[in-house]
Structure 1
Amino acid sequence: MSILNKLLGPKSDLSEKIEILSVEEYKKAVNNNDVQLVDVRTPREFRGGHIARAINIDYFQGTAFEEAFEKLDKGKPVYLYCRSGNRSLKAARKLVSMGFEKVYDLQGGILKWK
């Protein structure tokens, strides 16, 4: 059972569309070259180091954030991460409200990745 299921209950639309993955699960999933892998940190944080093949869409950029995600495939899974997992979970909720069907979040963020 995912963390969101525990927090929001099994009936929640969010808990069905957002899954928080451990570092091991996330690494296996993003190893595929065909995933939508998005770092939602600031460009400065991104330049300081990021997961290979990730694109940077800054969560704090408001409409630019939404416009950037509108260019992605809503039917294809999206893998998000940030520094610690807080921003990426907020971003995941926003993506679900924008119509994305399946969003994965890295538990603990890039801090746990290294």
Structure 2
Amino acid sequence: MADLTQEEWAEALAKDENAVILDVRTEEETDEGIIPNAIKIDIYKGQEFIDQVEALDKSKTFYVYCRSGGRSAQACAIMNQLGFTETHNLLGGFNDWTGEVTN
């Protein structure tokens, strides 16, 4: 797992053709908006979160975020334990995001 600043995350994401954006916030939080093209899987769903993550393509590079960076760091650690090798945590999370947002 790599902890990336907002700038590093956006720059790496823009260059990465193998990228998948993963939003691990709750549904209430994602209702406020999401980073475009993000897959939403709520980390608070426990085993359901693990089941949904395990269905993802482990060969992809995952750019993971939450509200402030804590839960996404946890999600990256869980994903690494499940065999994902490329996970990037967004430091500061959605709270500090200044890029594009969609509903």
TM-score category of the 2 structures, normalised to the smaller one:
0.7 to 0.9
SS, match of residue 20 in structure 1: strand
Q: Which one is further off, 71-80 or 23-32?
A: 23-32
Matching residue within 61, 70, 80 for 1:96 = 80
| AA of the residue aligned to 1:48 | E
Larger Rg over CA atoms: 1
Identity %: 38
Q: What is the TM-score when the length of structure 1 is the normalising length?
A: 0.79
Q: Which one is further off, 75-84 or 22-31?
A: 22-31
CA-based RMSD: 1.3
| AA of the residue aligned to 1:27 | A
Higher helix share: 1
Equivalence for 1:4 = none
Question: Residues 1-114 of structure 1 correspond to what in structure 2 (within 5 A)?
Answer: 18-31=1-14, 32=16, 34-114=18-98
Preserved contact between residue 18 and residue 61 of structure 2 (Cα < 8 Å): no
Count residues with an aligned counterpart. 97
Cα deviation for residue 27 of structure 1 reads 1.1
Q: What is the TM-score when the length of structure 2 is the normalising length?
A: 0.87
Cα deviation for residue 90 of structure 1 reads 0.7
Unaligned runs of 5+ in 2: 99-103
